[in-house]
Amino acid sequence: MREPNLRIAERQSLDGEVLVCGRFDGEPIETAGFAPEVRGVLDRLAARPGFRGREEQRAEAEVELAGRPAVVSVCGLGPRDEFSPRDLAAWFLRIVEIARGLGARRIAVALPGHPALAGEAGAERALAGLLLAGYRYERFLAEESQKAPLQEIEVAAPPGEDPAYRAALETALAVAAAGAYARDLANTPPNEAGPQWLEERARELGESHGLEIEVLDAAELTRRGMGGLLAVGAGSAQPPRLIRLAAGTEGPLVAFVGKGITFDSGGISIKPAKDMDEMKYDKGGACAVLGLLRAAIDLALPVRIRGYLAVAENLLDGRSYRPGDILRCANGKTVEITNTDAEGRLVLADALTWAAAEEPDTLIELSTLTGACGVALGTHLAGLFTPDDRLAEELLAAGTESGERLWRLPIGPEYLEEMRGQHADLRNSAGRLGSACTAAAFLSQFVGDVARWAHLDIASVVHRSAEELGQKGATGFGVALCVRWLQRAAPAS
């Protein structure tokens, strides 16, 4: 989708068809800086009986802005001390729904003073979040069913924060565009988005953004001994491939690896029918890597950046790999198959081996790896696994600042011991208990001598299953997080 134009404006000059403000529970509405006619409307709304600013409350009135009729809408934000970045995102979704309900194409938003909206990091998160609140994936809807998108958003920064918001605008625009791009890729259905399609999208990005691209086809995968990727993709009519994208000549070398299973049936260990349609999102890690590469190039971040996409389709066929098979991966380790639905770690094993061989300063891998991570953390945070405390601190901080939050989980030697095979070096599944941790321990065997590496399990945050004001579908999780980390941590690594 095309993002609306966004600009920073002074409160007195806001002139959208809808002007939205927020009010914290029990507090006055911030009216300083508004034009007199707007201040008068806000004062009247604040005085309405029963309107305190509770989260579910809203008050509206008509006003004339810049000689045109408009609507002023004040949304309750709940208690100030409970307001979080997640509440901010929910408010932005409500703002877009208000505008859509009124048929508005131009909106103005006056942001209140609050720590969640302060500083350059808060500004980036707010501006990108406001742009992405209008995201809808409507490619396959009949034209008459599609809602008119927003065309313009004016934002008045919180009091005293105007310089931070102007400084953050370029990054926010790039992150929002890249996030929408990653969402579009992940939302694309599997009858269109197979391995060949994802390769084509990678080639398009390489051409438009000056990225070198190299694609290993089935023959080259065979020559390199990449048995994990070959086995997982064997049941599909479209062969697997491993895609490498590269850019930059100066700065630290940073590698991102993404899982790109374009559809995951589970193979012979077939998944239940319920929610199997959501397995198109199993390519979400690769989509996030493409998105963050796009943003990094757009922002000219001072790093040498590499992206590796392990792409396959896990289907059933006479050629499909089986429980009991023993595979040999690119680094020579053998893996006994106990569950063909534990396929992500197999394709990542070969991708990580290639990435590690190029000796990056930092290696970060993103994958929809385990349902167990969602059982542990729900849909609010992604799992972070790394043996490096400093890298963990950097990523946790970037997650907090970007709004894509992480929680560190253990990756000790006891989990690796559970992954030892009976007749091979490793097995690809040790059962359900602690399976997010055992999966991470498995991946640790394919990072070579790279000490600064991290695995991000994004399975439970890669898409929204429940309708959230029209935004059911892919989230693009990982783009904003990794761009924020690159901005702050990568140059210093």
- The pair of structure tokens assigned to 413 is 């030697």
The string of pLDDT tens digits covering residues 456-492 is 999 999 999 876 656 789 999 999 999 999 998 655 5
Same domain, 175 and 222: no
Domain boundary among the residues 151, 184, 217 is at: 184
pTM metric for this prediction: 0.96
Q: Which of 271, 408, 472, 488 is flagged as catalytic?
A: 271
The residues facing 196 across adjacent strands are none
Q: Which of 345, 427, 452, 484 is flagged as catalytic?
A: 345
| Distant-in-sequence contacts of 418-423, Cβ < 8 A, 24+ apart | 421/326, 421/334, 421/335, 421/336, 422/336, 423/326, 423/336
DSSP 145-209: GSPPPP-EEEEEPPTT-HHHHHHHHHHHHHHHHHHHHHHHHHHS-TTT-SHHHHHHHHHHHHHHH
Domain count, the chain: 2
* CATH number reported for the structural domain that contains residue 407 in this entry: 3.40.630.10
147 is known as an active-site residue: no
Same domain, 344 and 453: yes
Domain boundary among the residues 169, 184, 199 is at: 184
The string of pLDDT tens digits covering residues 195-210 is 999 999 999 999 999 9
pLDDT value at residue 107: 95
The string of pLDDT tens digits covering residues 357-382 is 999 999 999 999 999 999 999 999 99
**Amino acid, res. 181:** Y
The string of pLDDT tens digits covering residues 338-349 is 999 999 999 999
What residue numbers bound the domain in which 75 lies?
Answer: 5-184
Average pLDDT across the chain, whole number: 94
The string of pLDDT tens digits covering residues 85-114 is 889 999 999 999 999 889 999 999 999 999
Asked whether the beta carbons of 452 and 212 are under 8 A apart, the reply is no
Which of 19-23, 74-78, 99-103 shows the lowest per-residue confidence on average (mean pLDDT)? 99-103
Same domain, 315 and 421: yes
Same domain, 123 and 244: no
Order across the sheet with 334-336: list the strands.
Answer: 326-328, 334-336, 426-427
Domain boundary among the residues 128, 151, 184 is at: 184
- The pair of structure tokens assigned to 295 is 């943003």
Same domain, 346 and 457: yes
106 is known as an active-site residue: no
